[in-house]
Homo-oligomer: A and B are copies of this chain.
């Protein structure tokens, strides 16, 4: 039995949630699960249909994206995951999808405005959209640079990855993360729902105002922080 069994199982379970939640077509998505003690993460093999996945097929790589265990090539997005794990020390799982509505906002190169409490229950700012990368970054080590594009955009906006667990990469698609792979998948589903409702909101009212500050604060604090009262203790 592999010493990485737990993250391979966790990565497998989380990957299998993506088609169930309607977030992927064919193989257009991947989830990873990290073991901080070992300094490695398990990730979906590249190009394998979800129905053919097993926990054993998950590929284990280190934070330099070198394969530590597994016979298959890891996801082509592995280096992006590796950069985020290395720099953001408290995340336990990462998800990348091309889900319909979130990807459309990414293609439109717009941050998703905070229009309602569904959004504010999860984060207090517009969902950020990193601009497309400079040509030199694209032509170089592309997926590695995608990780830095995300880090740089968070730094530029002064955002905390612990408070904002999602981003759109302009022209490309979303990445989400969380303390666990399950939470990262949850965030991908929330993002897709918020992305759809934001588009519909603008269609219903081109001048729809952003959510007022008092509601942003109240809804986020209902679910997060010392005074939260959502869910069970």
A residues near B (Cβ < 8 Å) are: 25-26, 28, 45-48, 72-73, 76, 98, 100-101, 103-110, 115-118, 132-133, 135, 138-139, 142, 171-173, 186, 189-190, 193, 196-205, 208-209, 211-212, 214-215, 218, 222, 229-233
Instruction: Return 13 A-B CB contacts under 8 Å, by A number.
Output: A25-B189, A48-B232, A100-B193, A100-B197, A107-B197, A107-B204, A108-B201, A132-B212, A138-B214, A138-B218, A199-B200, A199-B203, A203-B203
Other-chain residue from B28, B46, B214, B222 in contact with A76 (beta carbon distance below 8 A): B222
Integer count of this chain's copies in the complex: 4
Distance between Cα atoms of A211 and B212 in the complex (Å): 33
Query: With A26-B189, A204-B104 in contact, is A115–B233 under 8 Å at CB?
Result: no
Beyond the given A116-B173, A135-B214, could you list 4 further A-B residue pairs with CB under 8 A, ordered by the A residue number?
A45-B232, A104-B200, A104-B203, A115-B171
Select A109's contact among B101, B172, B190, B208, beta carbons within 8 Å: B208
Q: Which residues of B sit under 8 angstroms from A173, Cβ to Cβ?
A: 116-118
Given contact pairs A116-B107, A204-B199, A132 touches B189 in the complex (Cβ within 8 A): no
Q: What's the Cα separation between A107 and B215 when bound, in Å? A: 12
Whole-angstrom distance between the alpha carbons of A229 and B142 in the complex? 12
- Could you say which residues of chain B place their CB within 8 Å of the CB of A214? 135, 138-139
